[in-house]
Amino acid sequence: MAETVRIACCQLTPDVEDSVRSAARARAALGTAIAEGAQIVILPELAHCGYVFGSAQEARAAAQAADGELLAGWAQEAGRGDALVIGGFCELAPDGRVFNSSALVDGGGVLAVYRKLHLWNDESHWFAPGERPAPVVETRYGRVGLGICYDIEFPELTRGLALAGADLIALPTNWPRDSPPREEPILHSLALTTAYLSRVFVAVCDRGGSERGLDFQGGSVVAAPNGALLSAAAPGGGEQTLVADCELRQARDKRNGPRNDAFADRRPERYLAMLAQDPSAV
């Protein structure tokens, strides 16, 4: 496990109206980040094609196979720097279904693909929901857990990734700009408390700009296990690359006080029944 890992979030402004530019821009941004020393590079959700599809046909036309040229290109860039790339892409599955997915690749190719479990708004019109749990992948830099955007609002998923051993939870994101009830973007509050509660690193690579009338937050953020924001985009920001040097091994230490431990202190036999229940029955 490396001493310190440089994580870069390439906040971009993909445009569903120009997927050729979007794909080229994503590849160029990650290539630049790697050339400048980033070891783990994260791209936004649906980084190569944009977000605001108008039809299932449009999403399908943008979809790429996991073993196709898109991820091969990301892997090629990763290989130039012994880096990892995590990025969102519109996936055409072998069975013909289309998913909102995140890929983890290194220079050797695709290490894992995660298909988003929690679809937001119109996404359910374009994408099939994922069917497998979010994965944690052992890499040369540490263990990386995968999620996408709205997934961060499900503590079952983020806590689950941490309990499965993730040192870093990486979330490609397309966060529609919200009207937060306070100055700090909710995305930053979510990232820092997710990190703090499970003593993990959390990296959200959001997108900026707008597409077809939908404005995005531009709220990329990297949070440390103590709840510090290591790097955060100014709200409303456009294209920029956030960089944070992270000692991922810190996430292996769950102690949160002289006699306490965020994981060992859990009392699973006292709350799993509560989590399993069907709230609609209340």
Residue 254 is among the residues annotated as catalytic for this protein: no
Q: Which is nearer to a second copy, 108 or 258 (CB)?
A: 258
Does 149 qualify as catalytic in the annotation?
A: yes
CA distance 82 to 228: 28
DSSP codes of every residue in 34-96: HHTT-SEEE--TTTTT-S--SSHHHHHHH-B-TTSHHHHHHHHHHHTTT-EEEEEEEEE-TTS
Binding site for a second copy (CB under 8 A): 117-122, 124, 129-134, 150, 153-157, 159-165, 180-182, 184, 186, 189-190, 192-193, 196-197, 224, 226-229, 254, 256-260, 262-268, 270-277, 279-280, 282
CB nearer a second copy, residue 86 or residue 134: 134
CB 223 to a second copy: min, Å: 9
Question: Which residue, 249 or 254, is less far from a second copy as judged by CB?
Answer: 254
> Nearest 5°: phi and psi at 149?
45, -105
Catalytic choice (10, 45, 123, 211): 45
Q: Pick the catalytic residue from 149, 205, 211, 246.
A: 149
The kind and range of the H/E element at 21 are: helix 19-35
- What single DSSP character describes residue 159? H
The least CB distance from residue 204 to a second copy, in Å, is 14
d(CA 212, CA 50): 10
Least Cβ distance, residue 109 to a second copy (angstroms) = 25
Sign of CA dihedral 136, 244, 81, 206: positive
The single residue of 49, 116, 205, 211 carrying the catalytic annotation is: 116
Least separation in angstroms between CB 193 and a second copy: 4
Q: Which two tokens stand for residue 278?
A: 């069907």
Is 49 known to be catalytic?
A: no
Active site residues: 45, 116, 149
